[in-house]
Every structure is written in C-alpha cells, then in structure tokens.
Structure 1
Amino acid sequence: MIYVYHDFGGTHTTSLAAAYHLNIVSNPEKVLDKKEILNIPYFNKLSKHDAGKFIFHGIDQDGHSVYTLGKRSSKLVLPSLSHFSEILTERNQLNERIIFSNTSPVVPFAMTVGGFFSRGLKLDAIGVPLLIIGAKQCCLHISQLVEQTKEIAKKTAEQQVITIDNHKFQA
C-alpha cells in the first residue's frame, strides 16, 4: 500500500502527517514543542519548486510506503492522479493500493500565514514562529487524521485507489 498525504505546499501539515504515520513523533496524544516540530523531516524545507513531486518519507511498521505531495492551487492534480492510478490498476500495471489523504482541512490560519512568510517571502523571522504556533494548534488533529486515514484504508480493502478529502474532519 502507498499512502500519499497532500495539501497546498506539501511541507507543513503533510510532513507532520508523515511523521505521525511513521511514528517519528513519540507521543501522538501530546502537543509538540518547538524543537520537535522543527526536527520533523521536510517540515518547512520544501519550496514551490518541489510542488508536484512525491516526497518519500519512509516505510511504516506494516511495510507501506509514505509520501507527501504539494499540489499548489491546482484542483485537477488529485482527480488526475486518482484516475491515472485507476487506469494502471485496470491494466494490471499497478499491484499496490494507493491512499490519497488531504491534510488541508486541519491547516490553521497561523500556519497558512506562516507558510506564506517563510516559504513564499523567505521571511523566516516572521514565518517560522507562526508555523510553530500553527503546528501546535493542529498537531493533535493531524494525528487523528492519520489514524482515520489508516482506518479507512483497512475498511475499504476492496478498493485499489482511495481518495480521502477529509472535508468532514472536525479540526
């Protein structure tokens, strides 16, 4: 199985989701501190030039690959990827299930603004503190989103390609 966590930039909530999924975060039920947040692989490290690239984060305890993806403002990326994956499955070119999980619904305003300052304007002095605030606000929701994603993947074993919008996720 392949898990792909995606959002606009692919470097903040997606990196947190991958860290929770891979158990890099030691306690999924506590609010992370600044050091823990900044030590998460790829957190605030990617740029707009990395958009559209699948970033490999590791293999989970069940042997499943975990990736992240920044899709920028394109609303067509996920439907296209999902449809292409279905075509590959139908032609027996893809033998693994793919789970696309949207982390955008848990992005707090502080993280949006912080990402704009840090990644967009290269003003880390303003952006990083806002990103830390935002990550602290949403880390428990991201942990829950990851667990929900894993549960949906288990319950829908007959589907090869699953797209989870998480729009109804209560952050």
Structure 2
Amino acid sequence: MIYIYNCYGGTHSSALAAAYHLNKLPKDRLPTKEEILNIDIFNKLTTKDMGRIIFHGKDEEGHKVYTLGRGKSKALVPALKELLFLVNDDHPQTDKVILSNASPTVPMAMTFGGLFSRRFHIDFIGIPLLIKGAHQTYHNIVSLVEKTKSTGRTTSKQVEILENKQLEANKLFGDSSSHN
C-alpha cells in the first residue's frame, strides 16, 4: 500500500501527517517545538517543490508514506488518480494508493506562519505561528492519519481519495482540547 498525504505546500500539515504516520511524533502528547522542527521537510520546501511526490519511509506494516504539495490546483490529485488507473491497466499492481488531503487540518496560525516564513522569509514571526498552529491542530492530524490508515485497511478500491472535509469545523477555532 502507498499513502500520499497532500496539502497546499506539502511542507506543514502533510509533513506532520507523514511524520505521525511513521511514528516520528508522539501518540500520547503534543510534540515539542524541536520535534516539529526536526521533521525532515517541515517548513523547508519551496514553490519549486510543488508537484513533487516525496518519500518519507515505510510504516510499521511496510507501507510506503509520501507527501505532495499540490499548490492551488484542484486538478492535480484527480489527474494523479487517473494516471494511476492508466498505469494499473497496463501493469496490474497489487499496491492500493490512498491519497489523503491534510489541508482541512490547517488552522489560521499555521496559514499565517507559513505565509510569513515561506513567502516573506520572516522566520521570527512565522516559526512561532507554525508551532502554535501545529499544536492547535495536532489532534486533527492524529485523527486524519488514523482515518487514513483505517481506510487503507478496509477499502477495496485500488485508488482512494480522502478529502477529509469533516475536519473543517475543528480547524476554524484551533480546537486542541482532546490532547491537552
């Protein structure tokens, strides 16, 4: 099985999701600032990296975990799904692919943190906002990853796209109550 977490830039919410999926972040508490900043691609990608599928490792079951920054494109993930179907028609594969949208987990603090840090290169404002946002939405990231893994275990589809819209309500208020 292949898991691909995707979001706008591929460097914040999807990076957190991949790290959590691979047990690089704690399951029983909020990660520290250092743990967040030590994620291999957290806050390190640029617009040139959008569209790149980045491998992060294999999970405890041997499944590959990737991230993808899709930018403003609403067509990239559906096009990727169609491409996977085309490849599968010519070369039948056994790996299912789960594409999981991490964007619904992004709180306002993370949005502005990414803007200040990545776009304006003002890290002394952006980094604290990114850490605050990561802490605010960590329980959403955990829920997203658990749902993604569960779908991977139960779906019969060769390619599954998870939009994760149910997380929209939680991100609006930066609700982190379940992990305090």
TM range (shorter): over 0.9
What residue is the counterpart of 1:69 in the other structure?
68
5 Å-filtered alignment, 1:142-161, equals 142-156=141-155, 158-161=156-159
5 Å-filtered alignment, 1:1-171, equals 1-25=1-25, 27-156=26-155, 158-169=156-167, 171=170
The aligned length equals 169
Shift in Å, 1:93? 4.6
SS in 1 for 2:4: strand
Q: Deviations over 1:130-159 (max 9, x none)?
A: 101101101121011101100011111x21
C-alpha distance in structure 1 between counterparts of 2:31 and 2:139, whole Å: 9
Q: Deviations over 1:9-56 (max 9, x none)?
A: 00001111011100011x223122211111122110111111000111
List alignment gaps of at least 5 residues for structure 2: 171-180
C-alpha distance in structure 2 between counterparts of 1:31 and 1:54, whole Å: 27
C-alpha distance in structure 2 between counterparts of 1:121 and 1:71, whole Å: 20
Q: Percent identity?
A: 47
SS in 2 for 1:168: helix
Q: Deviations over 1:91-123 (max 9, x none)?
A: 235432111000000100000011011011111
Instruction: Give the partner amino acid of 2:20.
Output: Y
Greater helix proportion: 2
> TM-score when scaled to structure 2?
0.90
> TM-score when scaled to structure 1?
0.94
List alignment gaps of at least 5 residues for structure 1: none
What RMSD in Å do the two structures reach over aligned CA positions? 1.2
